[in-house]
Amino acid sequence: MIDSAIVDKVQRGERLTLADGVALYETDDIHGLGRLADTVRTRLNGDRVYFNVNRHINYTNVCAIDCQLCQGAYARKPGEPGGYTMSLEQVFQFAAQKYHSGVTEFHIVGGLNPALPFAYYTDLLEGLRERFPTVHLKAFTMVEIDFLSRISKRPVEWVIERLKDAGLGSCPGGGAEIFSERARPLIAGHKISGARWLEVARAVHAAGVRSNATMLYGHIETIDERVDHLIRLRTLQDATGGFNCLIPLAFHPENTFYSDLPPTTGTDDLKTIAVARLILDNVQHIKAYWVTLTPELAQVALGFGADDLDGTIVEERIIQGAGGEAGLGMTRAQIESLIRAAGRTPIERDTLYHPVAAGADRAAPAPTGETGLRPA
Ligand code: V47
């Protein structure tokens, strides 16, 4: 049974504490936990389940920082066999191959490649905007933005303005991993700290650019550290309102430094979705990322607090590199039928969660205007 004091708080719309989050994780009553999270999901999103039609562009896997969770599985050190970096022309060709008139978003991330100049990033955005003016460019994590600040020797605020001028629409949520000062160095040794990730996200939001957030779980972190991660995101969201959604990412150990660890279990995945929904009372959407969860479990997660299934990704390399087998793509019809079979209404959305009308004129410019961000 779930502690009735926590149930009462949720019913009254009161904020949960770290101790509440840990207690929820520790419950054996997974059905009760799911029902509680589902109440909140319904309150926030009715019976709508969102998805979008996107394409991933991973422009390079060369990465100077040596993260235990990614190096070898996806990333390669400069000069190491298996490394690739797309020239701008290759990026544009790749995008053109993947594009069709229904695509509303390019999700663009890559390693920290010291060989690329700052202009590569702005030229990449400008070139994509010119060729695909209706496609939203969701590009560069807080880790990449911090890196761009270092290579350009300019403050992140300057970097963000240059990226915005070049066509940046929003930022993906990667690189957050787990903020804990204990665990983070053990999985992402040379990556920016959790505090820096949050600081860059704050600057992104202050510049009027929305972003997503992630939490990587199922490695060496504790339950307290997971809930603490969620609470740090909630605190920033109180200040900026700039997070569109949280994506809990289940760690895939294969080919990584932690290849001896077991993969996450379905119970843990569902609890994580539910606790995230309950703790993050100020983030509208929780994404069940089917690439890490499998489409089947992501569908079940819709009953545990998730209201978004991400995109019809045809090719994704980062999690596939670590043994994720579900990354090869689902069609719109498959996603819609998964959602309907869960008793929900599928809504195709754009990156900022505006519904994309069936048969809408996709040649019209992507929506701009109100961002929902709090004034800086
Ligand atoms: O930051 C790395 C994670 C992230 C592994 O914003 C791993 O819409 C599992 O952030 N096993 C990249 N996960 C993916 C990401 C993302 C995905 C989908 C949508 C959005 C969005 C963002 O993948 C990395 C890291 O946290 N990751 N290695 C691994 N072995």
pLDDT tens readout for residues 103-139: 999 999 999 999 999 999 999 999 999 999 999 999 9
Pocket test for ligand 1, best of 216, 244, 260 (most atoms within 8 A of CB): 216
Pocket test for ligand 1, best of 147, 197, 249, 264 (most atoms within 8 A of CB): 249
At 71 the pLDDT is 79
Residue 375 has what DSSP assignment? P
CATH 3.20.20.70 at 13-363, yes or no: yes
Q: Is 318 touching ligand 1 by the criterion CB < 6 Å? A: yes
pLDDT in tens, 225-247: 999 999 999 999 999 999 999 99
Cα 164 from Cα 347, distance rounded (Å): 28
Cα 253 from Cα 264, distance rounded (Å): 9
**Would you place residue 368 in the very low, low, confident or very high pLDDT band (cuts 50, 70, 90)?**
very low
At 217 the pLDDT is 98
Distance 174 CA to ligand 1 centre (A): 5
φ, ψ at 119 (rounded to 5°) = -60, -25
- From first CA to last CA, the distance across the chain in angstroms is 43
Q: Which residue has the tokens 């933005």?
A: 145
3-state helix, strand, coil in the chain (%, to 5): 40, 15, 45
For 221-231, b/e burial (b = at least 16 CB within 10 A) is bebebbbbbbb
Mean pLDDT of 74-93: 94
* Confidence check: pLDDT of 14 > 90: yes
Mean pLDDT of 94-101: 92
Q: Is 69 touching ligand 1 by the criterion CB < 6 Å? A: yes
Residue 219 has what DSSP assignment? S
Mean pLDDT value across the chain = 92
pLDDT in tens, 170-202: 999 999 999 999 999 999 988 999 999 999 999
Q: Is 122 touching ligand 1 by the criterion CB < 6 Å? A: no
* Confidence check: pLDDT of 43 > 70: yes
At 347 the pLDDT is 96
Cα 8 from Cα 171, distance rounded (Å): 36
So where are the chain's domains? 13-363
pLDDT exceeding 90 applies to what percent of the chain? 81
Q: Which of 212, 107, 112, 120 is nearest to 162 (CA)?
A: 120
At 345 the pLDDT is 97
At 74 the pLDDT is 83
- Measured from the CA of 322, which atom of ligand 1 is nearest? 30
Structure tokens at 367: 């929506």
* Confidence check: pLDDT of 78 > 80: yes
Q: Is 350 touching ligand 1 by the criterion CB < 6 Å? A: no
Q: Is 110 touching ligand 1 by the criterion CB < 6 Å? A: no
At 328 the pLDDT is 62
φ, ψ at 285 (rounded to 5°) = -125, 140
At 300 the pLDDT is 98
Q: Is 327 touching ligand 1 by the criterion CB < 6 Å? A: no
pLDDT in tens, 157-176: 999 999 999 999 999 999 99
pLDDT in tens, 138-157: 999 999 999 999 999 999 99
* Confidence check: pLDDT of 331 > 90: no
Centroid of chain to Cα 238: 19
At 363 the pLDDT is 44
